C-alpha cells in the first residue's frame, strides 16, 4: 500500500504561510510590550516586506491594523517625551497609558485574526 501525497496548490500554501507569519507578527508585537519595542521593529520589517504578497482584504486589514498601531504608538511616545521634563510622573503616566493602549490594540487584533474577522481600516483615498 502506498501513501498518496496530494500537493497543495501554490496559492493555498502561500496563504497558509502568510497566516502563520501574521500570527508571528502579532506575537512579536505583543512581546514588545515587555521588551521596550525591540520585537515590533522586526515585525514591522516583516510587515513591510510581505505587504505586496497579500492575497485578500482579510490579511491586508490585519497588516494595516498592525502598522497603524505601531506608527500611532510611536507618534504618541514621541509627542509625550516633553512630559518627562516635568518630573517623572507625567511621563510615566503617559507612557503607561500608551503602552496599555498598544497592548490592547495587538490583543484585539490577534483575537479577531484567530476568529477570522477582518479589522476595521480607514477608507483609502480615491
Q: Which residues contact 109 (CB under 8 A, 6 or more apart)?
A: 26, 62, 65, 66, 69, 119
In the chain, where the domains are located = 13-114
Residue 76 CA to its chain's centroid (Å): 17
Percent of the chain with pLDDT over 70: 91
Q: Which tens digits make up the pLDDT trace of 2-38?
A: 554 444 567 788 889 999 999 999 999 999 988 878 8
- SS3 for 124? coil
Question: What separation in angstroms does the CA of 107 have from each of 5, 57, 87?
Answer: 37, 20, 31
| pTM for the predicted model, two decimal places | 0.84
Amino acid at each position: 500500500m502506498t501513501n498518496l501525497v496530494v500537493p497543495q496548490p501554490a496559492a493555498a500554501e502561500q496563504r497558509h504561510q502568510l497566516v502563520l507569519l501574521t500570527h508571528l507578527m502579532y506575537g512579536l508585537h505583543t512581546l514588545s510590550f515587555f521588551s521596550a519595542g525591540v520585537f515590533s521593529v522586526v515585525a514591522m520589517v516583516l510587515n513591510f516586506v510581505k505587504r505586496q504578497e497579500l492575497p485578500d482584504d482579510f490579511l491586508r486589514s490585519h497588516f494595516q491594523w498592525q502598522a497603524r498601531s505601531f506608527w500611532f504608538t510611536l507618534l504618541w511616545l514621541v509627542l509625550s517625551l516633553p512630559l518627562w521634563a516635568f518630573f517623572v510622573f507625567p511621563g510615566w503616566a503617559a507612557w503607561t497609558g500608551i503602552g496599555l493602549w498598544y497592548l490592547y490594540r495587538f490583543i484585539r487584533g490577534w483575537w479577531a485574526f484567530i476568529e477570522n474577522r477582518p479589522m476595521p481600516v480607514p477608507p483609502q483615498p480615491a
